[in-house]
Structure 1
Amino acid sequence: MTKLKQLSFIISLSSLGMSAMASDFSFDRPGTGFGTGITPVGNLAWEQGLPAAKYVESKDASGIKTKTLSLNADMLLRTGLAENTELQLGWLGPAWTQAKSQGQTVEDDGLGDVSIAVKHRVDLDDDKLSMAVLAQALIATGNDGFSAEEDIYTLGTSVQYQYNALVNTSMSMFYEVQDGDWSVTAIPSIGYKIAGDWSGYSELVYRKKESLDNEYALGTGLIYALNERTQFDASVGVDLDGQARSYNAGLGISYLF
């Protein structure tokens, strides 16, 4: 075999390996839930917000209206520990807020909390059904006004069913405890192929925290796969509970090294 043929053979094998890796891997952006894909050992997935925005209009008991705009650039790093297990390191990133009320404007900025998590894919021996569990600790290291203030410990589960090449559904559940108070979040969602490298998703978010009213939100978004290792995403959402009007939107990019 000539050197040219040897080089072509090595490149072909590398391409096949990359395709196989990409077919078993999926990014967790965008959306509130998480996927069942695991980052391959020796690879690093970087998922970055560019950023996310939230707009809230609220009134206090005396009827005074406040308009608040928030921006933050969250980040998630994922790397494989074993065939079915990965380590996640997250950071809510730099953040900025602007509040307007009675003709006055107040701005603030700071850094958000960090998190560490382990995700494990459960082998169901099924071509269409997949499952993963997530154990996460959010450490309240952020600045005042941009932190959860107390650490949050979360156990999450995600189940996905691939109906066909165009449609899949999933259900993510989160059980959280913060300073002795419990909350549960359920996120049913549907993913769908649109055309070519374009796909989308829609989700409902239900959250119940101890001693507080139910919370509901809707979200949807678009995903563009630039290649096997890179994707861009855009999403919008609205909160459906309470007297305040709350909207959110975000852009993001994800890359597999």
Structure 2
Amino acid sequence: MRPSAAPVAARTGLNVALAATLALAGAPAIAQTSEPAEPAEPPSFDRPGISFSTDTLPRGAFAWEQGLPDFVRDDDGGTRSRLYSANTNLRLGLSDRVELQLATSAYNRLRERDGDGRRSRHGAGDTGLAIKVALRASHEAFSWAVLGAVTAASGDRDFSNGATQYTLGTTLGYDFDERLAGALYLNLDRSDGRDTWTWSPSLSFALSDRVGAYLEAGVSKADGESATSVAGAGVTWMATPRVQLDASFDLGLDRGSADLQAGVGASFYFD
């Protein structure tokens, strides 16, 4: 789910939205003057899944989320490809409701096979910087957060978007009870004059105090292209109070989607 020139107004609107997100992020970070109380347990990690969590890290806390690896398999009828990526997301709490994120994939390996034979390439992916803000909610069961990001086309040719990408997304969450929660993710990516919209609903279940599972679906629509859709599931296990292990998959539901997106990973929390 990660991906005709658009009018200038669309570009301006996204830039203004990103600027507003960054301004919103800066104010609480400056206003924060005292150390927050140590949480009873780590906030939710952002992997796995299409959406990100509505939690942010406390001020000074740090999280490392790592794919071990993440995997994409696709067969378009003529070429079969397998992509392995060591996706990394580093998160740093700036205040009680604001965090800074650095995302990259330092190593990727692509294997392709077609009528001309087999090929294998490897290299680094693009690098992105993001600000995530957990917004206040009037209802205890409801939570939401926004994330604004800029991703530079810094990776090797086979693993790069090829142009700077601007992202503005939000996740809306609702706790139905102590073991069941729902979320709706909405996101806009803009790169090289093209917009890509993504939305994804999901349901999460607490199977025990340490094991959780979720179901999700996702739809993306880029300018001038048909919509693509996936559906899948995942499971998480808190190996320790500060270490989460995960496994997940999404299956493509149409010809434009990758046949399979999957991964295993580990996330670590430090404060």
- TM-score range for the pair, normalised by the shorter chain length: 0.7 to 0.9
Computing the radius of gyration from Cα coordinates, the structure with the larger value is 1
When the two structures are superposed, what TM-score results if normalisation uses the length of structure 2? 0.83
Q: What's the CA shift for 1:34?
A: 0.5
Q: Work out whether 1:212 is the aligned partner of 2:212.
A: no
More strand by share: 1
Q: Which residues of 2 match residues 65-214 of structure 1 at below 5 A?
A: 65-102=78-115, 104-214=117-227
1:242 aligns to what SS in structure 2? coil
Q: What's the CA shift for 1:236?
A: 1.2
2:92 aligns to what SS in structure 1? strand
Distance 1:192 1:19, change over 3 A: farther
List, as ranges, runs of 4+ consecutive aligned residues in structure 1 with deviation greater than 6 Å: none
Given residue 206 of structure 1, which amino acid in structure 2 is its aligned partner?
Answer: V
Cα distance in 2 between the residues matched to 1:179 and 1:198: 41
Aligned to 1:232: 245
Aligned to 2:59: 41
Q: What's the CA shift for 1:18?
A: 11
- Is the Cα–Cα contact under 8 Å of residues 58 and 244 in structure 1 kept in the other structure? no
Given residue 74 of structure 2, which amino acid in structure 1 is its aligned partner?
Answer: V
Distance 1:94 1:245, change over 3 A: closer
Spell out, residue by residue over 1:94-147, the C-alpha distance to the aligned partner (whole angstroms, 9 max, x if none). 000111112611111010000000000111132110010110111110001100
Distance 1:70 1:42, change over 3 A: same
Given residue 197 of structure 2, which amino acid in structure 1 is its aligned partner?
Answer: V
Aligned to 2:8: none
Aligned to 2:70: 52
Percentage of matched positions with identical amino acids = 29
Unpaired runs of 5+ residues, structure 1, are 1-16, 60-64
Cα distance in 1 between the residues matched to 2:212 and 2:256: 33
Distance 1:206 1:245, change over 3 A: closer
CA RMSD, 1 decimal? 1.9
Stretch deviating more after TM superposition (207-216 or 238-247):
238-247
Cα distance in 2 between the residues matched to 1:253 and 1:246: 24
Spell out, residue by residue over 1:1-32, the C-alpha distance to the aligned partner (whole angstroms, 9 max, x if none). xxxxxxxxxxxxxxxx9995154611011001
Distance 1:245 1:162, change over 3 A: closer
Q: What's the CA shift for 1:247?
A: 0.9
Cα distance in 1 between the residues matched to 2:241 and 2:156: 37
Distance 1:180 1:71, change over 3 A: same
1:159 aligns to what SS in structure 2? strand
Q: What's the CA shift for 1:244?
A: 7.0
Cα distance in 2 between the residues matched to 1:19 and 1:28: 22
Q: What's the CA shift for 1:242?
A: 1.4
Cα distance in 2 between the residues matched to 1:24 and 1:47: 13
Cα distance in 1 between the residues matched to 2:147 and 2:105: 18
* Residue-pair matches, total: 236
When the two structures are superposed, what TM-score results if normalisation uses the length of structure 1? 0.87
